[in-house]
Amino acid sequence: METACDESMKRGQCSKCMCNRAEVLKLQILKAFARIGKSKKCSSAVGCVACKEPYGFLKLNDTNSSDTGSLHFGSCAFQCPDPSNVSWPVMPKNALDYNGKEWPAACFNGTEEQRYFIIGDWGGIVSGSGPPVTFKNRPTVIDPIDTHAQTYVADKMAEVAADLKPKFVLNVGDNFYPGGISSPGTCNAETDKTDPAGQIIFTNVFENVYKGPGLDGVEWWGVLGNHDYGGYHYNVHWDQNIFYTWNSPKSRWLTPALYWKRAAQFRNFSAEFFFVDTNKVDTYGNPDADPEHNICARSHNQPPQPLGCNGTSISSPDTCWKFFDDLWKAQKDWLAKELQASTAEWQIIVTHYPPNFEPCRSTWESYLVEYGVDFYVSGHTHLQHTNTTFGETAFVISGGGGGITSEILPSKTGEDDGYGFMDVVIQHDAMYITRYSHGGVDKKTIVRGVTKVSPRSPKAVSQVAKAEPEVAKVVV
């Protein structure tokens, strides 16, 4: 007997559902005793018998009932294309060429739990051959946590990844503290596609730090933060963040543009990730009102250093401001069009700044509601925070990667949210975000909280089910 598929089964790509054998027999008995009419539908024990295109149907068992004949219940699954047939875009002539482009979709159709990690504000300072040192941003320092926070987080991330096997990592920016790659005046978005100094920084701050079983070969999909542009400079080698997509020896780094899009196809659902540059926030208002925190500040962008960035519209501090203003305007038009057209089960924004920062706030207040964005991933604020909504969209701040001292004092026990990373289990009808601590001097595995995120409903009801534990969970 055919019956309606519930919302969860529809999101799992079922196009036709039927009652199982026991339910059918029950209805037949009730019907025989004139307890129900012909229109009665089964109320439980419903199975999927057909799937939406392009998903294939996988049989599970035979119903063996007179009402369903030889139909089998089953599930829906996407068949991933042969990776050798997927064309990887060539290195662009200009670092801005792929702005607004869609990257070839990633495909993960295994039956195991599907998950990704989130990290931000992670790239410390390298001097000599030692590990990166955390950039100091407050007077009080808790040694050794504050001085080597990136290493603590990276080691814990590698340990957890070896067990959980993330499919990819979302990188929300501020990859290189304090002032990006190389020195002011080196920006060249058009001709200098490989900077030897930049290669060394990538090797010492990224490749040699985030490694091991579970992380080796795992792609990092990302955006730029304000420190990647130079902090209070605009013309350091920020273009290397983009060109390294093609220069990464292990092909792990994926930041092909300042703003871009990628779909992740899973077994019975898909998610679309929209990577957005929100560094308009850093150039908002008078650049000289706070010159220590403005990319376009005149006091730090003066001769004798070159004032332009070859291959872009930036030729002075004044045109710097316009570059970021135009960039934000272009992204708003692009994002509205892409979100409107999205048919994926999940729409996820990935960017550096949280949604409540001006002047982008009003755009997010409109777009997140109008287009039903499910999840907003950010950093910039130097701590770990979940269990939050902006309007009706869940958002997280994962700015505790350890490249810069946290905004709250950490503890040597690791029972704090100053430094860490996040793990997200993604399913067709829910996401579960786990917040991991740096682990402290004893390097324990400490879960600071777990939050469930449900898909946005058409009526925009609140989507976050709070599931924070009263105390941290310590897994020895």
Same domain, 68 and 149: no
Same domain, 470 and 335: yes
Alpha-carbon torsion, ordered 394, 400, 404, 405, to 10 deg: 110
Same domain, 377 and 428: yes
Nearest CA-CA partner of 147 in 156, 158, 136: 136
Same domain, 54 and 108: no
Using the 3D structure, point to which of 23, 44, 77 is the last residue of a domain.
Answer: 77
On whether residue 288 sits in a domain, the answer given is: yes
Helix, strand, coil share (%) of the chain residues, nearest 5: 20, 25, 50
Same domain, 199 and 333: yes
pLDDT at residue 27, as a whole number: 53
Same domain, 96 and 209: yes
Using the 3D structure, point to which of 52, 77, 102 is the last residue of a domain.
Answer: 77
On whether residue 83 sits in a domain, the answer given is: no
Same domain, 72 and 92: no
Nearest CA-CA partner of 306 in 178, 204, 194, 192: 192
On whether residue 82 sits in a domain, the answer given is: no
pLDDT at residue 436, as a whole number: 98
Same domain, 34 and 98: no
pLDDT at residue 64, as a whole number: 44
59, β-bridge pairs? 74
Rounded CA gap, 174 and 153, in Å? 15
Cβ 89 vs Cβ 102: under 8 Å: no
Domain count across the chain:
2
pLDDT at residue 104, as a whole number: 96
Would the pTM of this model clear 0.85, i.e. be above it? yes
Residues of the chain with pLDDT under 70: 21-45, 61-71, 457-476
Same domain, 57 and 150: no
Same domain, 114 and 257: yes
Using the 3D structure, point to which of 77, 98, 133 is the last residue of a domain.
Answer: 77
453, β-bridge pairs? 431, 464
Q: Which domain range does residue 33 map to?
A: 2-77
Rounded CA gap, 352 and 166, in Å? 21
